[in-house]
């Protein structure tokens, strides 16, 4: 039965590996000397934000060219740094004294890097989590005790816990990512045995992701998340504090609007949705409204509770339904496509490729499962 003409999926075309999934493998921690002004701000980011001096530092920062960045990993580190500086610059004074313009010295290189990597002009999951990790012991395991973020926003231990627990969910998803590619290839080869084994591996990977997610209750204080971390992850789309969006000086004449970070931007969820044929409808239960809240609420199981509570690691209150620059409800899958990491040419993300492949071999899959 026809699957001829379809080539196997090469995960590396999408910067995906069997060992690390969508996680950036062995991210760099230092940029070349030319980029010392960026590195210096990144290394002192917390102090600059707390002292309300980050905006002054950025204003004095020279406009650097991205042409001296060599290779994909240097580009990802540079974007990680500029994304954190951007969020700190915008939200340094909270929602009361927001800015309308991002200075040219930051906006121009950030725009150029984002264009090259196919990512929006705001910090996303690919920055905060997938490229923001390092081992304390280079030969040690990927565990909470042996991991640390490369760049941090305010939030202390809870911020580190938030980033790293989310990272461990991605680690747990690695066998599932491999199973997705194996499932599609098995259908193309009409290999029922391999297909069933791959789907079993996928189910186990999802169970491990759920187990990793539970660590959020141990490592993140809900009050710290709500009052300190959350504001720095907010976007400037449909956000009452920034109704007109943000002008990127030297890159945009008109204000641009982007939604804040969300774990729904993880390519893992999109790849699983495409493989399993999950479709999100307007009447679906609302998804979390705050950035990255998918890490602390079960996906698609009803509204999350947004308010802080006095209990560490627990989420109280009621969902407000307000968007505040974050994507919510049935719009998540479609909206998040523009926030996913791209292939080596900045083209399609793997979920979209899987959609095309799976539709072409759907009849084959039905026949195999009925045999």
**Does residue 2 carry a pLDDT above 50?**
no
Confidence class for position 337, pLDDT limits 50, 70, 90: low
Higher local confidence (pLDDT), 4 or 264 = 264
Average pLDDT over residues 312-332: 35
SS3 content of the chain, % helix, strand, coil (to 5): 55, 5, 45
The whole-number pLDDT of residue 256 equals: 96
Residue 65: CB atoms within 10 A of its CB come to 11
3-class DSSP state of 112: helix
**Does residue 305 carry a pLDDT above 80?**
no
**Does residue 299 carry a pLDDT above 70?**
no
**Does residue 194 carry a pLDDT above 70?**
yes
The whole-number pLDDT of residue 336 equals: 55
Average pLDDT over residues 118-129: 96
pTM for the whole structure: 0.78
The whole-number pLDDT of residue 54 equals: 98
Residue carrying structure tokens 């979390």: 288
- Strands 247-248 and 101-102, by their bridges, are parallel
| Measured distance CA(233)–CA(88) in Å, rounded | 9
pLDDT in tens, 165-190: 999 999 999 999 999 888 888 888 88
DSSP-derived letter for residue 249 is T
The whole-number pLDDT of residue 176 equals: 93
Residues 6+ apart with CB under 8 A from 125: 166, 261, 262, 263, 265, 266, 292, 339
Q: Where are the domains of the chain?
A: 11-370
The lowest-confidence range among 47-61, 108-122, 321-335, 341-355 is 321-335
Q: Where are the alpha helices (DSSP H) in the chain?
A: 36-43, 45-50, 54-60, 71-91, 104-117, 125, 156-189, 192-213, 216-219, 222-224, 230-233, 267-276, 332-336, 350-370
Confidence class for position 3, pLDDT limits 50, 70, 90: low
């Amino acid at each position: 039965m026809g699957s001829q003409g379809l080539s196997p999926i090469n995960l590396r075309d999408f910067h995906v590996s069997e060992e690390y999934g969508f996680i950036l493998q062995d991210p760099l921690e230092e940029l070349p000397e030319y980029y010392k002004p960026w590195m210096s701000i990144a290394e002192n980011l917390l102090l600059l934000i707390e002292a309300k001096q980050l905006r002054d530092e950025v204003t004095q920062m020279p406009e650097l060219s991205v042409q001296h960045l060599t290779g994909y990993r240097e580009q990802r580190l540079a974007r990680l740094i500029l994304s954190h500086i951007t969020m700190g610059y915008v939200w340094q004074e909270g929602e009361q004294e927001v800015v309308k313009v991002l200075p040219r010295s930051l906006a121009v290189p950030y725009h150029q890097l984002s264009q090259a990597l196919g990512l929006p002009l705001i910090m996303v999951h690919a920055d905060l989590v997938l490229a923001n990790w390092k081992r304390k012991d280079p030969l040690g395991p990927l565990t909470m005790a042996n991991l640390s973020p490369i760049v941090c926003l305010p939030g202390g231990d809870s911020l580190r816990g938030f980033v790293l627990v989310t990272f461990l969910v991605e680690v747990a998803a690695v066998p599932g990512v491999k199973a997705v590619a194996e499932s599609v290839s098995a259908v193309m080869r009409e290999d029922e045995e391999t297909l069933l084994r791959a789907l079993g591996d996928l189910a186990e990977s999802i169970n491990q992701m759920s187990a990793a997610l539970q660590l959020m209750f141990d490592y993140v204080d809900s009050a710290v998340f709500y009052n300190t971390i959350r504001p720095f992850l907010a976007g400037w789309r449909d956000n009452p504090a920034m109704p007109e969006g943000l002008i990127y000086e030297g890159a945009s004449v008109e204000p641009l609007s982007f939604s804040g970070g969300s774990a729904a931007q993880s390519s893992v969820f999109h790849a699983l949705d495409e493989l399993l044929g999950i479709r999100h409808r307007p009447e679906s239960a609302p998804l979390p409204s705050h950035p990255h809240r998918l890490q602390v609420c079960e996906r698609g199981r009803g509204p999350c509770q947004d308010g802080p509570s006095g209990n560490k690691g627990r989420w109280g209150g009621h969902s407000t339904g307000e968007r505040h620059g974050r994507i919510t409800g049935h719009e998540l899958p479609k909206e998040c496509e523009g926030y996913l990491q791209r292939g080596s040419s900045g083209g399609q993300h793997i979920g979209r490729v899987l959609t095309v492949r799976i539709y072409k071999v759907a009849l084959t899959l039905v026949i195999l499962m009925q045999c």
